[in-house]
Structure 1
Amino acid sequence: MPKLSQRAERMPASPIRKLVPYAVQARDRGIKIYSLNIGQPDIETPQVGLDALKHIDRKVLEYSPSDGLPSYRNKLVGYYARFGIDLSPENIIVTTGGSEALQLAFPSCINPGDEIIMTEPTYANYISFAMQAGVKVRPIKTDIRNGYALPSVEDFEALIDERTKAILICNPNNPTGYVYTKEEMMRIRDIVKKYDLFLFSDEVYREFHYTDEPYVSALHLEGIEENVVLIDSVSKRYSECGIRIGAVITRNMQLRNAMMKFAQARLSPPLLGQIVAEASLDAPKSYMEGIYEEYIERRNLLVNGLNKIPGVYSPMPNGAFYTMARLPIDDCDRFCEWLLREFSYEGETVMFAPGSGFYTNPEDGRDQVRMAYVLKKEDLARSLVILEKALEAYPGRTER
């Protein structure tokens, strides 16, 4: 058969989904799995969104415009205004999830062979999207010991050369749950302005921000208005992962027009998803308030419980619904596979995302896993019991 491309061979498997075959086999054996490996909330979708889906009365399910339904983009302007972000509909291109937003932005901003700086650990698909675009990732490590705070300006500048074209941040962060302070965001702004870089800011978890400090969006930063590209999605906000609706947003109209060429080439974002997303913007305030309080309770239960298990450490995240945990294990990939293939406690086991997949060098993060606190509190409590039993039985346990 013909030989596959080098790009296909280098493309990393998803650390979040690569263990699914083992999970299927475990379930076939009758094992119950508590899935903390993926950010799929168990929170119900807003009723207004579900009702819109049920009551679609179109006679034809047509293409939407390549930049999205005008009614939805107009309504999004009002949504962003709630956060002090002033936009026009022309600044917004609706995408097939937040993933496609980056797949439009990367080739529009960065040439093959150019470089982008990302903090690590990082959302694994960023690395994949960069590889698809022929872009080299320059990682800048953050440290679990200080909660994954932003590195210094000097650390960033040590990576910047003539091929550096952009910085990418996720705020609140996936996988760490870190939220950048105003001072840190100003530090990023100064670097972007000094070197005239693009700033990609993934703000999918905007509503899940658990500190008293005001949330600072990249679109709040003055002096780099033409440099900022915001990535967004309704997947987590409204528990609508399956409708695949996101957005890429910029005030740089030259860039917007460039991204539209790629958007037109893929025709249009999902029609039915946009209808649901547009209706969901009318979800009552109580909907988001309830979710917010629920995630704080889940976070506290999980992270406090983790830190009571001997040899385990997790910093308290201030946003999103993930935490990175350091475990007394020899190899996170081996441990996560072992949990599904060989271990069970009272007919149950747990599923995590191996930490190595959130680093460009897979030898990093070998003693870490990412956990998503997207299950109800009773299930999280049970997961902690199973994890402690698993660590007691794991043949590759290490001592700290």
Structure 2
Amino acid sequence: MPSISKKGQSMPESPIRKLVPFAEDAKKRGIDVIHLNIGQPDIKTPQIALDAVKNNNIEVLAYSRTEGTEEYRTKIAAYYEKQSVLVSAEDIIVTTGGSEALSFGMGAIADSGDEIIIPEPFYANYNGFATAAGLNVIPVVSDIADNFALPPIEDFEKKITTKTKAILICNPGNPTGYLYSKDEIKKLAALVKKHDLFLVADEVYREFAYDGKEHYSILQEEGIESHAIVVDSVSKRYSMCGARIGCLVSKNPDIIKTVMKFAQARLSPPTYAQIASEAALETPQSYFDAVIEEYVGRRNLLISELEKLDDVIVARPQGAFYCIAQLPVKDADKFAQWLLEDFNLDGATIMIAPAAGFYATEGLGKNQVRIAYVLEKDQLKKAVNILGIALKTYKG
């Protein structure tokens, strides 16, 4: 039998989706599975975006330009200007989701065997993108005791070698919900300038900033224009995960020119989805105000309910819609599987994402889980009640 590539064998499985078969089996047994494991918002997609697809009169669904339509990219630049980020349409390449932007970005800045430094825990697919690009992920540990704040800058500097090409952050963070401060971004900016590295920021949760805090983009930081690469997406902002539209943004013309070559190999981003995404840019501020208010309420309820549970430690997210909880179990993977296979409370159980898969350092996060608060408050409260009783049963 022909052998699978070493790269294929080393590609990590998704820690979010590997429990899906157990969840499906539970549902077949009549168990109601409450999903806390995946960041699929339940907020309605803006009607203006859906109507743009429904009401268009396209007769030939043709390729768009490789970098995305000029009209859409011009409107994206106008959107960024409202966020105090000054870029032009030429600084933007539209991609098939933020995932493709990350993949193209890594391919553009690094060769096989190079290194990228990422504070952990981090979005699990960063491991997959890095593996596909032949990059080695070098983790810097952040701590639940510090609410997963940026680790000391000295910890990053210790990890820098001749093979280091970039530092990658997610701001606000998935899976932690931590929002990096302006001061923390400035420290990273100074570091990448000192060592001539790229700073890649996954900013797909930009709008989701709470408690009066404001998101500060690396593109707002002067003096790192040639170092800064931003990855963005419509998925969470407009609850349009299925559109698969994102973008890569950089003022470095060599980055844009190189990413363009990767983009040409896949021809163009999807046309209908660009139409919907362009229309979504006209979404009124009232939509975001209502969404933020809803998520803040959900976060507050979730955190307060989790803090009532014995021996559970939870970080308080300042953005996005995730939190990390530390549970009184030795192995969250086994506990998560047990919840689906062997436990239910009045015919219901929960599906959680074990956090070990969000770490690159072996052994870290074994007793932690990521919870996505993308459910209505009554479901969240029910889910935490199930978790509390499940923990008592499991320990017993």
Q: How does 1:37-116 map to 2 (within 5 A)?
A: 37-116=37-116
* Equivalent residue number for residue 4 of structure 2: 4
Provide the rounded CA distance (Å) in 1 between the counterparts of 2:108 and 2:331. Answer: 38
Runs (4+) of structure 1 exceeding 4 A deviation are none
Secondary structure of 1:248's counterpart equals strand
Provide the rounded CA distance (Å) in 1 between the counterparts of 2:362 and 2:14. Answer: 12
Q: CA deviation at 1:56?
A: 2.4
Q: CA deviation at 1:214?
A: 3.3
Provide the rounded CA distance (Å) in 2 between the counterparts of 1:67 and 1:249. Answer: 11
The residue type paired with residue 394 of structure 1 is Y
Q: CA deviation at 1:69?
A: 1.3
Provide the rounded CA distance (Å) in 1 between the counterparts of 2:352 and 2:138. Answer: 26
* Equivalent residue number for residue 21 of structure 2: 21
Provide the rounded CA distance (Å) in 2 between the counterparts of 1:358 and 1:136. Answer: 15
Provide the rounded CA distance (Å) in 1 between the counterparts of 2:38 and 2:158. Answer: 34
Q: How does 1:308-347 map to 2 (within 5 A)?
A: 308-347=308-347
* Equivalent residue number for residue 200 of structure 2: 200
Q: Percent of aligned positions with the same letter in both sequences?
A: 51
* Equivalent residue number for residue 363 of structure 2: 363
Provide the rounded CA distance (Å) in 2 between the counterparts of 1:322 and 1:214. Answer: 18
Structure 1, unaligned stretches of length 5 or more?
none
- Residue by residue over 1:226-269, the C-alpha shift from the partner in whole angstroms, topping out at 9 and shown as x without a partner, is 11000000100000000100000000011100110000001111
Q: CA deviation at 1:128?
A: 0.7
When normalised by structure 1's length, the TM-score is: 0.98
Tell me how many residue pairs correspond in the alignment.
396
RMSD: 0.9
Secondary structure of 1:229's counterpart equals strand
Provide the rounded CA distance (Å) in 1 between the counterparts of 2:58 and 2:213. Answer: 45
Provide the rounded CA distance (Å) in 1 between the counterparts of 2:66 and 2:43. Answer: 30
- Residue by residue over 1:295-336, the C-alpha shift from the partner in whole angstroms, topping out at 9 and shown as x without a partner, is 000000001111110111112110000000000011011011
Q: How does 1:1-400 map to 2 (within 5 A)?
A: 1-395=1-395
Q: CA deviation at 1:362?
A: 4.3
The residue type paired with residue 236 of structure 1 is K
Whether the 8 Å contact between 2:198 and 2:227 is mirrored in structure 1 is: yes
Secondary structure of 1:380's counterpart equals helix
Structure 2, unaligned stretches of length 5 or more?
none
Q: CA deviation at 1:153?
A: 1.8
The residue type paired with residue 126 of structure 1 is Y
Provide the rounded CA distance (Å) in 1 between the counterparts of 2:22 and 2:337. Answer: 7
The residue type paired with residue 366 of structure 1 is K
Provide the rounded CA distance (Å) in 2 between the counterparts of 1:363 and 1:11. Answer: 19
Q: CA deviation at 1:283?
A: 1.0
Provide the rounded CA distance (Å) in 2 between the counterparts of 1:158 and 1:361. Answer: 16
The residue type paired with residue 179 of structure 1 is L
Q: CA deviation at 1:211?
A: 3.5
Q: CA deviation at 1:193?
A: 0.5
Secondary structure of 1:189's counterpart equals helix
Q: CA deviation at 1:212?
A: 2.5
- Residue by residue over 1:23-60, the C-alpha shift from the partner in whole angstroms, topping out at 9 and shown as x without a partner, is 11111111111101000000000010111121121011
Secondary structure of 1:8's counterpart equals helix
Q: CA deviation at 1:215?
A: 2.1
